[in-house]
Copies of this chain bind each other. A is one copy, B any other.
């Protein structure tokens, strides 16, 4: 590949001057030399070696998109992405990074040391972490020395930049809606709520809605699984087996909700007459099934935009305040209720 030195020779200037032109430090170069160099640069299709540049500058323009995968027993750990939510978010994040001249490195993170090494190895400028649970924040993501934005993550301590949606309100509204529709025996399905996280907050919203409507929560109303349709199917079977106990289910994600619906249908449970269902996320596929899934919609494209906006503000040093963004959600009423 053509280097700055060769360009310099052709232009009969020092590589310093070429560097100044490349970096648009025009006050340091005369109009005439500048134009001569720019012409040569264009003719030879010069493009900088970023390894050399980054070695000096200690900036890489790489943002790491990290997806924690520390739950050893998660059966879906190698197909996280089958949930379209992930894909849509990463799509939006990549687009917005690209617009700002950054590069996206994608990585599933299984262990603390690896992440730290990765960041040092590549001089990563910033990190986006998707859906970490509290335990991970205190191990895997601790002591990271570059800006880091957590998406769909609730840290026990404050002091982290986070981008979330109105998980509590969304869940509260969803369950209130079920109650307004005449339902009183309302189950909930989610991934584990033992540790702080999105599932936990949505669970809290569910519990509050019950409480404020003087419905007593029963321990066996809560069904724990993994965030996938398959897991939803298993839960759906359990709910169908106890169908007299329930007249509604609030499921913490659309993908899981669709699995629940499948099992209910298979077991001749009528939706919404016997059991009504509300999901969470607002994925397009909720509209493709029958009956269409009522859900709490979040704007994934806007979320990706916000993630990049906040992260780059830190990376570029324009802000050192903690930012905790909460994006709005919207209850979509469809035929599953």
> Do most interface residues of chain A lie in helix, strand or loop, or is the interface mixed?
helix
Q: When A95-B108, A105-B105 are in contact, do A121 and B47 touch as well, CB less than 8 Å? A: yes
Contacts of A158 in B (CB 8 A): none
A258 touches B51 (CB 8 A): no
Q: By CB atoms of chain B within 10 A, which of A91, A262, A287 has the most?
A: A91
Judged by a CB distance under 8 angstroms, whether A29 is at the interface is no
User: Cα distance A107–B95 when bound, in Å?
Assistant: 8
B107 touches A103 (CB 8 A): yes
Contacts of A65 in B (CB 8 A): 106
A256 to chain B, nearest CB (A): 11
A78 touches B301 (CB 8 A): yes
Judged by a CB distance under 8 angstroms, whether A215 is at the interface is no
Q: When A54-B51, A91-B78, A107-B103 are in contact, do A290 and B289 touch as well, CB less than 8 Å? A: yes
Judged by a CB distance under 8 angstroms, whether A269 is at the interface is no
A123 touches B49 (CB 8 A): yes
Nearest B residue to A145 via CB reads B1
Contacts of A319 in B (CB 8 A): none
Q: Please give the count of copies of this chain that the complex contains.
A: 2
User: Cα distance A84–B105 when bound, in Å?
Assistant: 20
A67 to chain B, nearest CB (A): 9
**Please, what's the 1-or-0 string for A78-105, where 1 marks a CB less than 8 Å from any CB in chain B?**
1111111011101110110010000111
Judged by a CB distance under 8 angstroms, whether A194 is at the interface is no
Contacts of A265 in B (CB 8 A): 290
Judged by a CB distance under 8 angstroms, whether A26 is at the interface is no
B301 touches A288 (CB 8 A): no
User: Cα distance A332–B174 when bound, in Å?
Assistant: 37
A123 to chain B, nearest CB (A): 6
Q: Which of B50, B55, B116 contacts A122 (CB 8 A)?
A: B50
A229 touches B288 (CB 8 A): yes
Judged by a CB distance under 8 angstroms, whether A117 is at the interface is yes
Judged by a CB distance under 8 angstroms, whether A322 is at the interface is no
Contacts of A86 in B (CB 8 A): 81, 87
Q: When A81-B91, A86-B87, A121-B48 are in contact, do A106 and B104 touch as well, CB less than 8 Å? A: yes
A78 touches B92 (CB 8 A): yes
B290 touches A288 (CB 8 A): no
B104 touches A107 (CB 8 A): yes
User: Cα distance A49–B60 when bound, in Å?
Assistant: 12
Q: Provide 5 A-B residue pairs closer than 8 Å at the C-beta atoms, listed in order of the A residue.
A: A49-B123, A81-B86, A258-B288, A261-B288, A262-B287
Interface contacts beyond A81-B87, A91-B108, A262-B288: sample of 19 additional A-B pairs, CB < 8 Å, sorted by A: A49-B55, A49-B121, A51-B54, A51-B60, A51-B123, A55-B55, A65-B106, A81-B84, A81-B90, A82-B84, A94-B106, A98-B107, A103-B105, A103-B122, A106-B106, A258-B285, A261-B288, A262-B287, A288-B289
